[in-house]
Amino acid sequence: MKEIIGRKMGMTEVFAKDGKMYAVTVIEVLPNVVTQVKTVEKDGYAAIQVGIEEKKESKVNSAERGHFKKAGVPAKKVLHELKGDEMAAYNVGDQIKADIFQAGDIVDVIGVSKGRGYAGTVKRWGHKIGPKGHGSGYHRGQGSFANNGRNNARVIPGKLMSGHHGNLSSTILNQLVVETSAEKNYILVRGSVPGAKKSIVVVRSAIKAQLGQKEKVHELVDYEAAARAAEEARKAEEKARKAAEEAARLAAIEAKKAEEEAKKAAEEAAKQAAAQEAPVAEEAPKAEAPAEEKGE
């Protein structure tokens, strides 16, 4: 039998890729650090003590400080004993993580039910109420305390009466593990789990034999993978857009340079043509001057 402790965080729903929906309870399962190993020879029974959530040094008393120092682990807020044949293999300082269970496993979840204060028998035990007519005078009473003549001097133990309702250890049997993650420290269990939010629960292997075919958990949708793919696609699109803008900018710069070079070349050619025409224009008047002198 395997066991691990965690903290109930609340309920949500997850979807499989084929559209199947699982209503699940999210249990935060931080690494359970083994702080003590109890043996039959020394303690009279076999178990391991595990702890989760580090405790401030200022809040640790001397006895706890010595206990954790002997184990060589940091002080822990929550301590609990786990029993089972498979748990005996762990040593002091080892860590038990959420992947001790896998999707498809059947487990029992133990927690402390929500306290509902002082309640009557109708709410606490589901007793039937009396007549609702105004004249009955009896609506939500506890009923007769008679013992059928056996011993009317006392109330037989076990009588269902008013009293403190809830705040008791409660176990939900045969729950299906939908998903586990040792990296993110959680276990998803189908259905409800006893206890208030943030309360400590124990997840153990199902104590009852499971007959028939094992239920298969459908592959869940990985929203984070889809989000990562969408983010990568967005980044690739942004990169391609920036590359296109950069290419367009470089092409515009090259076109402008080519235009300026062409303009400069045209201006240079015009200057050269003007420079070549200037000597010809100067020689033409000189050639006409001797002809005029002969005519005179």
Residue pair 205/40 in contact by the 8 Å Cβ criterion: no
200: which strand partners? 7
Q: Which helix (H) or strand (E) holds 67?
A: helix 62-71
Q: Find the helix or strand (DSSP H, E) in which 223 lies.
A: helix 223-295
Nearest alpha carbon to residue 206 among 231, 175, 229, 182: 175
Say yes or no to pLDDT of 59 above 90. Answer: yes
Q: Is the pLDDT of residue 284 over 70?
A: no
Of residues 216 and 280, more confidently modeled: 216
Q: How far is CA 90 from the centre of its chain?
A: 27
Q: What is the pLDDT of residues 7-55, one digit of tens each?
A: 999 999 999 999 999 999 999 999 999 999 999 999 999 999 999 999 9
Sign of CA dihedral 48, 49, 53, 57: negative
**Reported pTM:** 0.75
Average pLDDT over residues 219-225: 87
Is residue 31 within 8 A of residue 224, CB to CB? The reply is no
Q: Compute the distance between CA of residue 260 and CA of residue 253 in angstroms, rounded to an integer.
A: 10
pLDDT in the model for residue 213: 80
C-alpha–C-alpha distance, residues 140 and 124, integer Å: 12
Task: Identify which of 13, 73, 15 has the alpha carbon closest to the alpha carbon of residue 49.
Answer: 73
Label residue 207 by pLDDT band (50, 70, 90).
very high
Letter for the amino acid at 73? V
* Average pLDDT over all residues of the chain: 90
The first and second tokens of residue 7, run together, are 């903290």
228-246 pLDDT, tens digit each: 888 899 999 999 999 999 9
pLDDT tens across 61-115, in order?
Answer: 999 999 999 999 999 999 999 998 888 899 999 999 999 999 999 999 999 999 9
